[in-house]
Amino acid sequence: MTDATPTARHTAWLTLTAWAVGFGAAAWILFGPYLQFAYRSTSARLITETVILCVALLGSFLAHGRFVRSHRMQDLLLAQALIVFALATSPVGTVLGMLVDGRPGGADVWLSVGLQLIGAVLLLAAAIAGQSHRLHLVSRAGARWRTPLVPLLVLVLVLSVLVLIGERVHLAVDPAYRTARTRPELLTAHPFLILTQLTAAFCFLSASTIWTVQARVRDDPLVRWLGPACALGGFARVLYALAPSLYTDWFYVADVLRLGLYLLLLVGSAQEVSHYWTARTRSAVLEDRRRLAGELHDGVVQELTYIRGEAHRVDGDPELQERIVGATDRALDEARAAIHALTRVDGVPLSTMLERTGRELARRHGIEVAVAADATVDADTHEMHTLLRIVREAVTNAARHGRAGTVHVELALADGARVLRVRDDGVGFDPEEAARHATGYGLVSMAERARSLPGTLDVDSAVGAGSEVRVTW
C-alpha cells in the first residue's frame, strides 16, 4: 500500500479531532454539569439552515460534475446524498410535511428525519463504492438525468408513506419537551425517531472512517474533507437523538456540529473547484505545448535537416561547408531540445532525462555516451532544461571537434553541491585559444546557461588529453 502523504496524515488528524469534538459534546451533555444545549434564536436558526442548504446544493453540483466526467458510481451516490440532504433542509420539505397532517412536529419532522436517514445511507454507499466502480452510460445526457432522479423518487416515496399513514402519524417530540422553559429531559422523542437518528449516526461515522482511509491513497481534495465532515455529522445525529431539535426557531449544540459538517464540505468544495480549474489550465498548456512541438518538428527541424543535407554539396570551400554544417547541427540541437522541453512529462527525474538524452546523442553522432547519474539529485524545470542544453552542446562538441569515441556524463553530489560532468577521450583543445574563438565551441553559451541556474562552468582540457566540462550549482 502507498505510504500516507503529509496531506493524508493531516486529514487523519483532522478526522480524529472531529471525533474528539463530537465525543466531548455528547459526553458533556450526558455526564457534565449543567449545559443549556438549546437557545432560542430565530436568526441563528435561519442563517444555519440557509448556509447548510446552499453548501449542500453546491456540493451536489460539484459531485454531479465529477460524475459526468468520470462516470464513477461514488460521485453519483455522493451527489444524490447531498441533494437529499438539501431537500431535508429546504422549506419545500417542511411545507410538504405540513400539508400531510397540518401539525407542527408531526409529518414535517418525520419527512425531514426520513430524508436525512436516506441521505446518510447514500453517503455510506458512496464511501463503500470507492473509485473503481464505473457506470457504462450511452451519453452525457444520461449521466445528467441519473443524479436528480433518485432524490426525487426518495422524496415521493417518503411523502407517500406519510400520506398513507395520514392522521395516525405520531408527534416526533413530546409536547412537554416542546414547551419546556428549562433544560428539558433527554431521550424524550419518539422511540422510532431516536432509532432513526442513531442509525443515521452509524452511517455517518462509518462513512467517516472509510473516507479517511481512502484519503490516504488518493490525492482528491473533496474526499480529503469528507472524513472529518462525516464525523461531525455523525455526532450531530447522536445529539439529535439525545436532545431532539424542535425544528422551529431553536438553535442546538447539535446544529453547531451539523453546521461544521457543511463548513468542512464547503472547504472541500472550494479546493475541488481550484483543483478542477488548475487541471483544466494544465491540460490546455500541455495541449498547446504539444501543438508547438509538432510544428517545430514538422517545420523547423525538417527544413534544417534539408539545409544540412544541401550543405554537403557545397564545393570549393571546405571551411564554409564545415561552418554551415556546424551551424545547422547546433540549430537542430536547439530545436530538438525545445521539442524535448515542450513534450517533457512533469515528475520525470533529471537522471532519467540525462539517460534519454545520452542515448539520443549516441545514435546521432555514432559514439558511446555513458551516463552515471545519481537519482537523488533533483532539479526544477528551469534547471533541468538548462543542464540538458549544456550536455547536448558539450557532447556535440566532443564528437564533432574533439573526435571522441566515448563521452562520460556524470551527475552527483559533492561537498553539498550538485555537480554535472561531461568527460570525453577526444583530442582535447587549448581553453585559452578556444576562449578567443568561443562562438565556434559554444563555451560562451554554456557559461551563460550555467550562470542562470545560478551556478558555475569550469572547462579542463589540454591538447591530446581529452576535455571535461563541469557545472556546479
Give residue limits of the domains in the chain.
Answer: 6-277, 347-472
Q: Give pLDDT, residue 118.
A: 94
For the chain, what is the mean pLDDT?
81
CA-to-CA distance for 288 and 290, rounded, in angstroms? 5
Closest CA to 138 of 74, 62, 71, 80: 71
DSSP letter (8 states) at residue 102 = -
Contacts of 25 (CB under 8 A, 6+ apart): 235, 239, 253, 257
Q: Give pLDDT, residue 3.
A: 45
Q: Give pLDDT, residue 51.
A: 92
> Residue 306 burial by CB count (10 A; 0-12/13-18/19+): exposed, middle or buried?
exposed
Among 126-135, 188-197, 352-361, top mean pLDDT goes to 352-361
Contacts of 143 (CB under 8 A, 6+ apart): 67, 68, 71, 135, 137
Q: What global pTM score does this model have? A: 0.64
Pick the CATH number of 347-472 from 2.30.110.20, 3.90.1150.50, 3.20.20.70, 3.30.565.10: 3.30.565.10
Share of residues in the chain with pLDDT > 70 (%): 81
Q: Give pLDDT, residue 1.
A: 38
